[in-house]
Amino acid sequence: MPSKNITISVLPATEEDYLALAQVESQAFSDPDDTSSDVPSTIGGVMFGPPSAEGQAARAKDLAKLVRTVPGMRLFKAVAHDPDAACDNYTKTIGIGGWIYYTDPHPTEDPWEDKPWEGARDPRACNDYFGEFSRRKTRIMGGKRFAYLQVLAILPDYQGLGAGKALLRQGLEEAAKLDLHEAYLEASIAGRPLYRKFGWEDVDVQVVDLSKYGAKGTVTNFCMYRKQQGTEIYN
């Protein structure tokens, strides 16, 4: 467990960070119960299975490709500094924030194309899930210039310590520098309260029945929109 004296900073991520960011993401979106069951109960478990070194390495390569090929893609890392750790200058990457800054208007025709999702547990579920995100984003934000929060994830042991807030502030400050005053994201039930504090509001809801992928339960995500009011980032 982290020390009470840790401090958190947010920095631009470099290619050397991508594996650590992939590890954060896989741990944040997994359920420990999924590792001991053949029937996953989370959308992450359905799509990618339990965390694995192979899956994290593949995701690190995917992050590198996204940064190289997607215009406006930026990755930030949240780093914890622990003065009470046994070794001096101990730091640990604990969070990822991935943004796409649409400085040109987002297409009004949905650009999604299904992908092979090499290494995924269920590529069809990946294409269904992320493809639907893309279609809804295009319907809601097509023709607009805006900041899109593609991913925000914090290591479970470090959640609730301010890393998520710090990553959001950094991303929104970057958007303001680019004169982008609208923002969009998809939120889980757990993440939604934090985004509402920052001024995002629900504009749509997506419910996925996991049984069609041989799993159990449903997953609910909220499509959320934010319009900058004045100069305040955090309410």
Cβ–Cβ < 8 Å for 91, 77:
no
Query: Looking at domain 7-227, what is its CATH homologous superfamily?
Result: Gcn5-related N-acetyltransferase (GNAT) (3.40.630.30)
Burial class for 61, CB neighbours closer than 10 Å (0-12, 13-18, 19+): middle
Rounded-to-integer distance, Cα 221 and Cα 207, Å: 6
Q: Would you say residue 35 has pLDDT above 60?
A: no
When pLDDT is cut at 50, 70 and 90, the band that residue 86 belongs to is: low
pLDDT average, residue stretch 20-25:
98
Q: Provide CB contacts within 8 A for 226, sequence distance 6+.
A: 182, 183, 184, 195, 198, 199, 200, 201
Predicted local confidence at residue 39, as pLDDT: 83
When pLDDT is cut at 50, 70 and 90, the band that residue 37 belongs to is: low
Bridge partner list, 96: 77, 153
CA distances from 46 to 42, 123, 222, 231 (A): 6, 9, 19, 41
When pLDDT is cut at 50, 70 and 90, the band that residue 2 belongs to is: confident
Rounded-to-integer distance, Cα 118 and Cα 47, Å: 11
- Indicate the DSSP class of residue 207: E
- Indicate the DSSP class of residue 2: -
Per domain, the residue ranges of the chain are 7-227
C-beta neighbour count of 45 within 10 angstroms: 24
Residue-wise pLDDT for 120-172, tens only, equals 999 999 999 999 999 999 999 999 999 999 999 999 999 999 999 999 999 99
Predicted local confidence at residue 8, as pLDDT: 97
Predicted local confidence at residue 150, as pLDDT: 98
